[in-house]
Amino acid sequence: MSSESVHARAWQALSACAVDDKLALSARLHRDWLDGRLSLNADAVPHAIGEPGRPLQPELVHPHQVPRRSLGSPAGRVALLHAVAHIEFNAINLALDAVYRFRGLPPAFYGDWLQVAAEEAEHFALLQARLHEVGSDYGALPAHDGLWDAARRTAHDPLVRMALVPRVLEARGLDVTPGIIARLRQLGDQATVACLEVILREEVGHVAIGSRWFAYLCAERGLEPEATFLQLLAEYDTAVHPPFNTEARLQGGFSREELARLVALHD
C-alpha cells in the first residue's frame, strides 16, 4: 500500500473549487482506495473546518431568499434541477469531509464514504448535464448553505455526523423524491425523472451507510441507537417530518419501531 494518505487526498478534493476538478478528484480518490494505493494516517490532526472548495457561483443566500417556482413551468423545473444539483454538490463535500475529519475509525468507514463521495459526484454530473439540456447551468440561480452548516455543527463527533446528516438530511430526500418524480412524470419530463430515479436508488444506500456507522459508534460507546438518535434530535433542535417513505427508510437502516417513535413525536 502506498504511503500517500487518504486524508490528504480527501482534503485536496474537498478544497477544490472548480466543479470539474472536484468531480474528477472524487472519482479518482475512490478508485485509488479500491486499488489499495492509499494509507490511513490517524495521527495527523485535521485542519479547522472552515469552508469547502466551491465555485464563485451560485450566490449563497438565506434559505427564504431562494426563489420557489411551480414545477408546472419550465422555470420551475430548472429551479428544481438547480436545487437538487446544489444538494448533490454539497453532499460530495460532506462525504469527503467525513473521510478527512474523522480519524481512527475502521478502514471500511473510509471506503464507504469515499464510495458516497464518488456516487454524489456522479449524481451531480447527471443533473448538470440535464441543466445544460434545458439551457441552464449550475450557478445560474442562488442557493443556500444549510447543508454545509450541518457539517459545521457536527464536525466535533462522527456519531453526531452520522445521526444528523445521512439519517436526517439524506433520509428526508427518500421521503420527498418519490412525490417529485410522480409530478414530473405527469408533466412528461422523463429525462429528469430518470436522473432522480438513479439518485433515489443510490441515496437509500447512503442512508444505510450512515445508519450502519451510527450503530457502530453507539455500540462502541455503549449507547442504545434509537434512544440516542431521539436524544440527538432534541439536543440539536432538529425535526424530522412524516409522512415517511417507510420502505426506503427500512432499507436505509431504520426499524419499524424507530419510525413509529419518530411519527409519535408529531402526535
How would you write the pLDDT of the chain (267 residues) with one tens digit per residue? 456 899 999 999 999 999 999 999 999 999 999 999 999 976 677 777 788 999 999 998 888 788 777 888 999 999 999 999 999 999 999 999 999 999 999 999 999 999 999 999 999 999 999 999 999 999 999 998 888 899 999 999 999 999 999 999 999 999 999 999 999 999 999 999 999 999 999 999 999 999 999 999 999 999 999 999 999 999 999 989 999 999 999 999 999 999 999 999 887
Please spell the DSSP secondary structure of 217-232, one letter per residue. Answer: HHHHTT--HHHHHHHH
pLDDT at 42: 64
41 to 94, 105, 159: CA distances (angstroms): 20, 11, 20
Burial class from Cβ neighbours inside 10 Å (0-12, 13-18, 19+) for residue 111 reads middle
DSSP string computed for 239-264: ---SPP-HHHHHHTT--HHHHHHHHH
How crowded is residue 191: how many other Cβ atoms within 10 Å of its Cβ? 13
Other Cβ atoms within 10 Å of 188 Cβ, number: 8
Q: Is residue 60 part of a domain?
A: no
Cell numbers linked to 121? 459526484
Model-level pTM greater than 0.85? yes
For the four alpha carbons of 11, 17, 23 and 24, in that order, the dihedral sign comes to negative
Side chain identity at residue 103, one-letter code: R
The answer to the question of residue 49 being in a domain is no
Reading the block at residue 78, the C-alpha cell is 430548472
Tell me if 56 is assigned to some domain. no
**DSSP-based three-state secondary structure for 5:** strand
Q: Is residue 48 part of a domain?
A: no
pLDDT value of residue 1:
44
| Per-residue burial over 113-151, b = 16 or more CB atoms within 10 Å of its CB, e = otherwise | bbbbbbbbbbbbbbbbebbeeeebbbbebbbbbebbebb
- pLDDT for the residue numbered 70: 83
Q: List the domain range (segments joined by +) for residue 254.
A: 6-40+71-264
Domain-located, residue 160 = yes
CA distance linking residue 138 with residue 83, whole number of Å: 9
Q: Is residue 232 part of a domain?
A: yes
Give the chain's domain count. 1
Residue 63 lies in a domain: no
Q: Is residue 200 part of a domain?
A: yes
At residue 216, the pLDDT reads 98
pLDDT in tens, 105-145: 999 999 999 999 999 999 999 999 999 999 999 999 999 88
Query: Cα Rg for the chain, rounded, in angstroms?
Result: 18
Using a 10 angstrom Cβ sphere, with 0-12 exposed, 13-18 middle and 19 or more buried, the burial of residue 202 is: middle
In contact, 36 and 107? CB cutoff 8 Å: no
CB 6 within 8 A of CB 110: yes
Q: What CA–CA distance (Å, rounded) separates 202 from 251?
A: 11
Instruction: Show the CA angle centred on residue 95, arms to residues 90 and 99, nearest 5°.
Output: 140
